[in-house]
Structures are given as C-alpha cells and as structure tokens.
Amino acid sequence: MYNSKAAGSVELTMDLIRERIAQNLALVEQRLAGACDRSGRKRTDITLVAVSKTRSPEEILAAYACGVRHFGENRVEELQAKVAALSRLWSAEQPEWHMIGHLQSRKAREAAALCDMLHSLDSLALAGKLDRQASQRALPLPVLVECNVSHEMSKYGFSAWDPDAWPTLAVELGRLVESAHLSVRGLMTMAPIVAEPHDARQYFSRLRGLREFLRQAVPGIGWHELSMGMTDDYEVAIEEGATMVRIGRAIFN
C-alpha cells in the first residue's frame, strides 16, 4: 500500500540534501570567482569536478539539480553502480564522469567503456591496456597523465619532482602519441597534505612548469589541462593555473 507519510519524509530528506549542497556550491563558486579575479582568469576556463565518491545517488542528483555536470569517482565498481542507478534520472543532458583514482589494469575495460575522462593515467602499461579497450569507443578516451611532483613514495603517478629528469620523462610520455584510442589532454597531480593551503603552491607551480616543458618537448600532444586542487587547496591551485579542480568535501559535507 502507498504510504504517503513515508513518501513525504523522503521528499523532505531530498529538500534538505539539496539545500545543503546548494549552499555549499554557492560558497565554492564564490571562492572560485575570487581566485579567478586574483589571477586574472575566467571562471569559464575552469571545470569544476564534483567528487562524488562515497556519496549517494540522491546527493549526486541534488548537485546535478544545482547545475553540476561533472562528477569524479575513484573506484570503477562504484562508478558502474552509479551510472546504472542514475542513467534514466537526468532531467537534461547526461553529466560527464571522471575517473580520478588509481586504476588497476584489469579494470581498464570497464573504465574505458564508462568514463568520459580518466585523470589517473600513471604508467605506460596502463596506457597500453586502456588503448586496446578504448578502441571500442566512438571517440578516443580523454586522459590526463598523473604526476608525482612531491617525491612522496606512497603516491601513484610518473616521477616528476626533479626537473633534471623531465627530459627523460618527456621521452617516455612521447610514446603516448602511439596510443591511437587515447587522447592525452594534460596533467593531473595531488598535492601533499600540508598545514596551510599556501604550502601546496610549489607543487602546483611545478606541475605547470612541467606542462610548459612538455609543450616544447612533446609537441604531438595537446597539453592543455591541469587537474589540480581539492577542497583544502583549490584556490591556490587556480592561482597557479589549474584548469580542472576536483572538489568533494566542500560540496557534499
């Protein structure tokens, strides 16, 4: 039997979720605008990726209702489940799904089929697997090369903290030109956890330096995107040239 009381409380919960996320997003947008002003950049040149890992379909729909069109997930199984659960619920255009976490090679097939951009290309072996799987797609899979610019051994990504080693890295990354079904769009990094956002600046600036270097050294690839900056440091990342910020807690908490 239809339970109107329960239905009413579901609606109330949805309203509360939407209100919370709308307020959070308004604050994030205000800060994005401030960082753009300080650095002479345009808001429209920056893609906001709402990191929806561990968040419910209701929370994702609420963010979508507020205008968010890019979502980030870090596990393939979770991405699969969410794409399936939400596929018929979008009121307008489909959002884009970004895979931002380390991808195991054996999940390359699912990732290549489901995501619209992979931010975490962290080895040439993975590139090879993804390239084969992406041949099934109508268009090449957009990817970003994840770089470790902070020398933390726990991090995934190509070693890129030492500019003296960039020429060797460029030779390695030059091989991505052969991946016909991948479209390399730029670089991604995660800054270390630091006490003050300002302390992350050197890592963002290093990633931008690497992009300038690769533009010269590997001209066959379009090195436009810089995916850097999360809840604690996205304003500094924008000041240092981020074109994509990946924000979770500031939107969904």
Q: Which residues bind ligand PLP (CB under 6 A)?
A: 51, 53, 74, 100-101, 190, 230-231, 246-249
Q: Tell me how far apart the terminal alpha carbons of the chain are, to the nearest angstrom.
A: 35
CB of 34 to ligand PLP, least distance (A): 17
**How are beta strands 182-188 and 141-148 bridged, if at all?**
parallel
Of 123 and 174, nearer to ligand PLP (C-beta) is 123
Of 58 and 232, nearer to ligand PLP (C-beta) is 232
CB of 53 to ligand PLP, least distance (A): 6
Residue 166: partners with Cβ closer than 8 Å, 6 or more residues away: 160, 210, 213, 214, 217
Minimal CA–CA distance to 76: which of 124, 131, 120, 125? 120
Of 100 and 134, nearer to ligand PLP (C-beta) is 100
CB of 151 to ligand PLP, least distance (A): 18
CB of 119 to ligand PLP, least distance (A): 7
Of 112 and 230, nearer to ligand PLP (C-beta) is 230
Buried-exposed string 160-194: b where 16+ CB fall within 10 A, e elsewhere? beeeeebeebeeebeebeebebbbbbbbbbbbeeb
Minimal CA–CA distance to 243: which of 165, 186, 182, 173? 186
AA identity, residue 132: R
CB of 2 to ligand PLP, least distance (A): 38
Of 15 and 196, nearer to ligand PLP (C-beta) is 196
Minimal CA–CA distance to 145: which of 114, 124, 115? 124
CB of 51 to ligand PLP, least distance (A): 4
CB of 154 to ligand PLP, least distance (A): 13
Of 190 and 200, nearer to ligand PLP (C-beta) is 190
Of 35 and 190, nearer to ligand PLP (C-beta) is 190
